[in-house]
Amino acid sequence: MLSAALVATACGDGAPRVPTGDPLTVVQTSAERTPRAGLLRVIVTGPEETLDGEVRLVSGTGPSEIRERALAALDVARWATKAVAYGGQQVRGVSTMRYEVTAREGGRVDVWVDVEGFARRIQLPDGPLDGSPPPVRDNGLPGYVTVDFVVVARPQLKIAPGGPDL
């Protein structure tokens, strides 16, 4: 009997730690939710560059090049035409579900979304999203750009007497 209880606990009897629901809806919604997460540290890593900075996407504060790259990656998720859940994976210490996504332009992109619906990573080809293979780097590997979103500080809710002020 004790072994049955241990198996039930080990199998995740608690709340899911990854998003559930229609994959396309999860991916598209993450593009709407992520800018509202508050202060974000955005890390853009590509074959020829690394950018790292804190931004607020809603108010437009922070380094403009990082904001523009983050918003462009989120737009790919927002306008996705197909998404398939690929599997769970940690992104910078946060449990996520990875989705293989077809961009509106036809190319393939990967999007990682956490249980709160925030995009945590978007990886796309370092080139056009037209469905052609990504450009090949000098080492023979395909070139990708990875955009990571780390929530630094969330907006504080104003609590009115009797409950949250929504």
Q: What is the pLDDT of residue 129?
A: 85
Whether the predicted pLDDT of 44 surpasses 90? yes
| DSSP code, position 20 | -
Nearest alpha-carbon partner for 134 in 110, 161, 153? 110
Distance separating alpha carbons of residues 28 and 129, to the nearest angstrom: 17
Mean pLDDT of 46-60: 94
Q: What is the pLDDT of residue 162?
A: 53
Would the CA dihedral through 155, 161, 164, 166 be positive or negative?
Answer: negative
Whether the predicted pLDDT of 50 surpasses 50? yes
Mean pLDDT of 138-157: 86
Q: How would you class 8 by CB atoms within 10 Å of its CB: exposed for 0-12, middle for 13-18, buried for 19 or more? A: exposed
Q: What is the pLDDT of residue 158?
A: 58
Q: What is the pLDDT of residue 166?
A: 40
11 pLDDT tier (thresholds 50, 70, 90) = very low
3 pLDDT tier (thresholds 50, 70, 90) = very low
Which tokens hold the place of 89?
């994976």
Scored b (16 or more CB within 10 A) or e, 102-118 reads bbeeebbbbbbbbeebb
- Show the 3-state SS of 98-156: EEEEECCCCCEEEEEEECCCCEEEEEEECCCCCCCCCCECCCCCECEEEEEEEEEECCC
Chain centre distance of CA 138: 28
- For the stretch 65-96, pLDDT in tens is 999 999 999 999 999 999 999 989 999 999 99
